[in-house]
Chains A and B, each alone.
Chain A
Amino acid sequence: MNILTFFTEPFVQPFMQRAVIAGMVVGGLCAMLGVFVVQRGLSFIGDGLAHAAFGGIALGLLLGASVSSATWIALPFTVLVSLGIAFVLRRGKLRGDVATGVFFAVSFALGVLFLGLRPVTAQPVNVETVLFGSILAVGSTDLLIVLGVCALVAIVILATWTRLAYATFDPELARLSGVKVELLDYMLLALTAVVIVVAVKTVGIALVSSFVVIPAATARMLGRSLHRVALYAVAIGVGGAALGLLLSYHLNVASGATIILTLGAGFGLALALRKR
């Protein structure tokens, strides 16, 4: 096998084409949001919202939806949880990890409760698919939904980028400069929730927070301005998803886990380069 075949052969097959497009789009967008989330000390939010998404998916299953269509129940459910976290962060005197931790546990417990309440005649659920994702099973319709949702989120993020960056740097100073900090706080968490629900489909609940945190954390070590950091983070998210998928194909191992391990290796490399 020559080097060109190594890169092209996997993507001859339509399911791999869909998987790589979904992975790169979700990876890039998670990374973009991750820049703000990580900078605000809310790295745990990805995990929290992913587990909230589990509660939403379980609610959908309880209501009779399939694992795939339960996403539409999980979406508003997770957005509501994210707004709840944002509200508690604003009103209460709780730190981000505490607020996230409470909502995360309650949502997950609700999910377990919902699954238990399903009638015994209901179709069994492949929990592994929910936990670890099924990027290779992304269908054409799924891909269109992923692309549509991600495009909308990306447009909102880019349109508010400079204000979001200011509010992330220092909410007090941004507010005094006329930035609607409260609105942006709610918006950021709601958009993160939307992207997390979509990302759960590809890398699963257990791994999705790495998609948010690792590219941003790696880029922070490389960039000297916030915009550079964002560019690097998106490049790492997109590149990590593509490379991880490629490696998982050739090594015949789990794709979601390989993508995250690839991102982890990139983080380790950046750390080593920074120390040098």
Chain B
Amino acid sequence: MTDAPERESRTPRSVVPAPPYAGPRHFTLPDEAMKRVLVADRVTVELSGKRILDEVSFWIPKGEFLCLCGPNGAGKSTFLKTVLGIVRPVSGSVEILGEPAGTANKAVGYVPQRKTFDHDFPATALELIVANLRGSWPLRVTPQERDRARAVLRRVGGEKLVDKPLAGLSGGETQRVFLARALVNDPALVILDEPTAGVDVRGRQEFLDILAEISASDELAAILVTHNPAAIARCAERVVYIDGRLIAWGLPNELLGQDSLSAIAFSMKDANASLPADED
């Protein structure tokens, strides 16, 4: 992208050195009375003997759109894998609607980073969505399943994609189909792992429009892992910033300008200046 060097110059990530860790900084937290969709309680994860997450605790109430931020290698993807039940913490726990992570998969929708498909794999958007509905690849799709897939695609502005082969979709269309797949079981929480990385500018903008609608929903909670300041500015109702440990948890505007959060602070200023990032 042509604006990459310019953006690099606006994000001097190393200008303000991070102070020694003095525990998590809690700003405005969600209302204690609200129903909790996700509760991470002192989550500690080690992979190959290396500590990736160290006692990370926060929770997400029903309907809240949370952006999970942090530098590369901060443990964001590991945290998502823990929520999905793929990685088990060595101590602490993650609960989804009161159930241990990994046991309530229908309550969680997952949108992975953009996948590329072998052009010879004969799969359509409809089959992908119905596979998540059933938990197996559909031999035949019933009219009811087709209607449901169509409805969920309509919700993400992709109804015309229903019978399209996945291999022929653009990056933005692919991610819409994956979002529809994630939403088809009416989850309480949707997890989005840098969903617009590798998607062109137009596709990214359209996808952010859809995420903004989800953010406006009072029913569906979301965790969006992103480096994209535009996404944070448009969608985040709350931000958690981690770097192996929980650094800060609060409203997006509260995390602006914090010295210890220099990276995100600069990114957020960029976002306010309406500069779309090159990538997530």
Contact = CB atoms under 8 A, between A and B. Distances in A.
A61 B127 CA distance: 49
A124 B118 CA distance: 48
A9 B131 CA distance: 48
B243 to A, nearest CB: 26
Contact of A169 (B120, B123, B134, B139): B123
Interface string A197-231: 00000000000000000000000110111111100
Given A175-B86, A178-B135, 19 more contacts: A162-B134, A166-B131, A169-B123, A169-B128, A169-B137, A170-B115, A176-B86, A177-B131, A178-B105, A220-B122, A221-B120, A223-B122, A224-B122, A224-B165, A225-B122, A225-B127, A226-B121, A228-B122, A229-B122
6 A-B pairs with least C-beta separation: A165-B137, A162-B136, A166-B137, A177-B135, A162-B137, A220-B120
B112 A173 contact: yes
Contacts of A179: 135-136
A39 B121 contact: yes
B191 to A, nearest CB: 10
Residue with the greatest number of chain A CB neighbours at <10 A, chosen from B115, B122, B139:
B122
Interface in A148-197: 161-163, 165-166, 169-170, 172-179
Contact of B123 (A176, A178, A226): A226
Contacts of A226: 121-123, 127, 137
B84 interface: yes
Interface string B102-131: 000100001010010010111110011001
Contacts of A227: 139
B138 interface: yes
Interface string B71-86: 0000000000000101
Nearest to A221: B120
Contacts of A170: 115
Secondary structure class of chain A's binding surface, majority of residues: helix
20 contacts: A39-B118, A161-B137, A162-B134, A162-B136, A163-B136, A169-B123, A173-B112, A176-B84, A177-B132, A178-B105, A220-B120, A220-B122, A221-B120, A223-B122, A225-B124, A226-B121, A226-B122, A226-B137, A227-B139, A228-B122
B188 to A, nearest CB: 16
B84, B121, B124 pick with most chain A CB within 10 angstroms: B121
Interface string B135-166: 11111000000000000000000000000010
Q: How large is the interface on A (under 10, 10 to 19, 20 to 34, 35 or more residues)?
A: 20 to 34
B141 to A, nearest CB: 10
A10 B185 CA distance: 57
A179 B112 CA distance: 17
Interface in A103-147: none
Interface string A36-73: 00010000000000000000000000000000000000
Interface in B146-194: 165
Contacts of A174: 131
Contacts of A39: 118, 121
B120 to A, nearest CB: 5
A178 B124 CA distance: 21
B190 to A, nearest CB: 13
A272 B124 CA distance: 25
Interface string B211-246: 000000000000000000000000000000000000
A229 B124 CA distance: 14
Chain B CB within 10 A, most for which of A169, A178, A220, A226: A169
Residue from A162, A179, A225 with most neighbouring chain B CB atoms (10 Å) = A225
B179 to A, nearest CB: 13
Interface string B265-277: 0000000000000
B77 to A, nearest CB: 12
A252 B134 CA distance: 52
Contacts of B138: 162
B110 A176 contact: yes
Given A162-B137, A166-B137, A173 B122 contact: no
Contacts of A225: 122-124, 127
A162 B131 CA distance: 9
Contacts of A221: 120
Contacts of B110: 173, 176
Nearest to A169: B123
Nearest to A38: B120
Contacts of A228: 122
